[in-house]
Amino acid sequence: MTWGEQTAPEDGWRQIDTALAHGINLIDTAEMYPTNPMRAETSGDTERVIGNWPSIKKRRDELIIATKVTGEGHKFVREGAPISASTIQSAVENSLRAMNTDYIDIYQLHWPNRGSYMFRKNWQYDPTGQDSAAFYDHVDEVLDQMDELVKAGKIRYFGLSNESAWGTYVCLGAGSQGAKPATCGKYPE
């Protein structure tokens, strides 16, 4: 999350080469990185450092690349739009282009639209007033979009980052059953 801001591209490339030489093959990034500080001028540069790594095309099969679609509120990324089927589609295409690759190994939601306990902007998060029905619809929309991207070969797996236990349970239940999780005939409360 520092490549392109605190870490120069050449140093990032050296880190990738060194990691691979020592058996480390997972790169975890996000479309919004680098983060310290977050600036419009550098937003997305970490993925571009990966995509400009001189060995990306000849060594891509040695890497597991994970990246994330940015959640709501970061004005430098899609003007702060929340996660939706259309923002996921756009973000995946942008990430593929930035990282100079045909597929993403693991694609994650960076944080839920409804809020979370993570990140400074959400310290006061209160889940009691959330619209659960809207969240269930959102989960269905996201899972459908992720399924399409897997079938298209653009992502191999998808997951969650910075999600609550409840949100993870809902997503896992919906994904494993192909429908809303069965808890007394409805989503868990």
- The CATH code of the domain that includes 122 is 3.20.20.100
> In what order do the strands lie in the sheet containing 26-28?
26-28, 64-69, 104-109, 155-160
Task: Give a yes or no: residue 78 inside a domain.
Answer: yes
Q: How many alpha carbons fall within 13 Å on the CB side of residue 176? A: 8
Encode pLDDT of 71-93 as tens digits: 887 788 888 899 999 999 999 99
Q: pLDDT over 90 for what percent of the chain?
A: 58
Task: Give a yes or no: residue 111 inside a domain.
Answer: yes
Residues 6+ apart with CB under 8 A from 11: 3
Domain of 43, in residue numbers: 9-177
Task: Give a yes or no: residue 4 inside a domain.
Answer: no
Domain count, the chain: 1
33 is catalytic: yes
pTM, two decimal places: 0.88
Encode pLDDT of 4-63 as tens digits: 999 999 999 999 999 999 999 999 999 999 988 888 899 999 999 999 999 999 999 999
pLDDT of residue 64: 98
Closest CA to 117 of 126, 109, 108: 126
- pLDDT, averaged across the chain: 87
Range list of H helices, 31-186: 45-52, 56-59, 85-98, 132-151, 165-177
Task: Give a yes or no: residue 185 inside a domain.
Answer: no
Which of these is catalytic: 33, 103, 117, 125? Answer: 33
